[in-house]
Structures are given as C-alpha cells and as structure tokens.
A = this chain, B = another copy of it.
Amino acid sequence: MTTETQIIQRLRRIATHPAARNLQDDAALLDGFVITHDSIAEGVHFFPQDPPTSVGWKLVAVNLSDLAAKGARPVAALLSLTLSGDDEWDLAFIEGVKAASESYGIALIGGDTITLPAGAPRVLGLTAIGRAGANTPARSGGQPGDRLWVAGTLGDSAAGLALLTDDAEAVGVLVDVYRRPVPLLEMGQALAPQASAMMDVSDGLLLDLQRLCAASGCGAEVELDSLPLSRAFIAERGNDRAARLFAATGGDDYALLAAFPPEIDPAVTLSLPKKPTLACIGKLVAGSSVMLTHGGEAIPLPERLGYEHRTEPPPMGDRG
C-alpha cells in the first residue's frame, strides 16, 4: 500500500459519521442535504490558458454533477477563491461561476477569498449544497444482476481536450463540451428514486465503474458497442474499438452511471427528461472485476482506465 493510499485510509477511519458514507461517495448526506466539495488546481484540472469564464463554469458544473448523481436539487454554494493578482482573470472567472450558478439555480451564499504567494498555481474550490430527494443512491448499493445505465454521451470532452492539445485555437461542439460541461440534474433527479447505485462519470467510465463495483462489492460486464457516443464524437474519432476505448476512459464526461434492478427499465418505468438519452451498457455481476466485450467478444481492459493520475488513488469525491 502506498503512503498516499494510507492517507485516504486514514481519512476514512476518521470519518465515522454516517453522513460521511465512508467517504466512498460523491457527496455527504446530512439531514436532508447532499453536500459536496471539489477543488480544481491550475496545471492539474485546467490549463493556465483556458478561458477563465470556462474555468468558473466548470468548477460549478463539476460540483453540480455530484449533486446530480445523488438526485439532489441545487440549493446553495460557498466559493473558495484564490485571488491570482490578475484581476481580469479573476473577474472573468467569477462571471463563469455566476453563469453556471444562474443556469442551474444554485445561490452563492458564502466562502472566502485568499491571496496566494506570487506565482502559485490557482486553487479554486466550491462547496455545493443540494436538497436530497426521497432516495439518495450511494455508489455502494449495486447488486449482481443490476443493469448498468449511462445517461449522456461519453468521450466528447476528452475528444475536445485532444483537439485543444493539438491546436489551442480549436473550436466546435467537442471543445464546448470540454469547457462547459452540463451537469445532468434533471436526469439525476428522475433516476434517483429507483436507482440502486449512482455516481457521475468524471474520471473515465471504466475507472468510475471500477469504483462503483468496489463500493458495491461486485464486478461488472460492459459491452463496448453499447456505449452512448455523440455524432460529433463519431465524426471526429470514428466508431471502432479504439474510438470506443477512448470514450470509455476519457474522463470529464459528467455523464451519470446508474445501476437498476433488472426488472426496472428506467426508460419505460420512469418519467425522464427527453435529453440526454439513456443507454444500457451492461450489468453488475458477482466477483470484483470489470470485464469488457466488443461485438460480443471478450477483450482485455485497457491499461489506463481513466484519469487516475490526477487524483490517484481513489480520493474523497474523486475529480468531479
């Protein structure tokens, strides 16, 4: 065990309150409130050259995605802002926070503002508070036999990031998805009442699924052909095995991954929003491994399941 894993284990041993859910979940559940905190750091979660409005939007969106994954309704947020010395950047960042907050109805109610030593990378954090619905699905509630469903499409953001890496001036739908992820709040609220487990896909489907499996004490089978891809993604990256593995491991999707008992077809049973679409991608099974098929044929798992290096090992709250 690395010492870094020891640090997470140490935190878990301290966090014995039931609201903590053993720090295995995207969010805490306290007296009807779902509460999450995610920070993003320059050079790790965003690039210095990213538009500051996008960074502000993204900070809010990744936290709202955690609320979405618990079926919560956004209520209030506290912003942890480090003044960077570049006032134009800071003001534009705040505009991004404001735009996302207003779009999704979360009220800024507090936080703090600190200065950092000169030249230090920006570290920006948000605490998001939502009102829990009748059921707040944990990562740990999955059972062998449950069907796995994904709301939203996979790989768009990673494809957008790849475009930007090649050409910092790149534009288009995929770049927009990377810069301005959309938290699937309505879908999360619609799925939560009957989901046995749910989380958002922030670090890559396969990596996040592995975490859901670990928390639920089971394994999973996923059919690569069933992963939901957007037209824009297919136009850019294609639709073959390599493209689908890219989508399965890309990260920054802010899609939702939910497990439902096999007798429930959420697309039929639940009153869902029209968008995004919902796709059944496989099922939970006994064991502890994630197994992959493509065209019905078993294929090995890729070496890299997602953006593990960013927050290695499985952290409190992960990336999103």
Contact = CB atoms under 8 A, between A and B. Distances in A.
Interface of A: 3-4, 6-8, 10-11, 14-17, 19-20, 23, 25, 27-28, 30, 33, 35-45, 75-76, 78-83, 87, 90-91, 94, 97-98, 101, 107-117, 120-121, 123, 125, 127, 129, 310-312, 315-318
11 contacts: A20-B108, A28-B76, A30-B75, A37-B80, A39-B125, A41-B115, A43-B120, A44-B117, A112-B311, A112-B318, A114-B311
B39 A94 contact: no
A311 to B, nearest CB: 6
Contacts of A311: 112-115
- Lowest 3 CB-CB distances: which A-B pairs, in order? A17-B107, A3-B87, A28-B110
Contact of A107 (B19, B81, B91, B123): B19
Contacts of A27: 110
Contacts of A125: 37, 39, 80, 125
Nearest to A37: B78
A311 B117 CA distance: 12
A38 to B, nearest CB: 5
A101 B7 contact: no
Nearest to A26: B110
Nearest to A63: B112
Contacts of A11: 79, 81, 94, 108, 113
Q: Which of A11, A23, A91, A111 has the most CB of B within 10 A?
A: A111
B44 A114 contact: yes
A36 B94 contact: no
Nearest to A101: B14
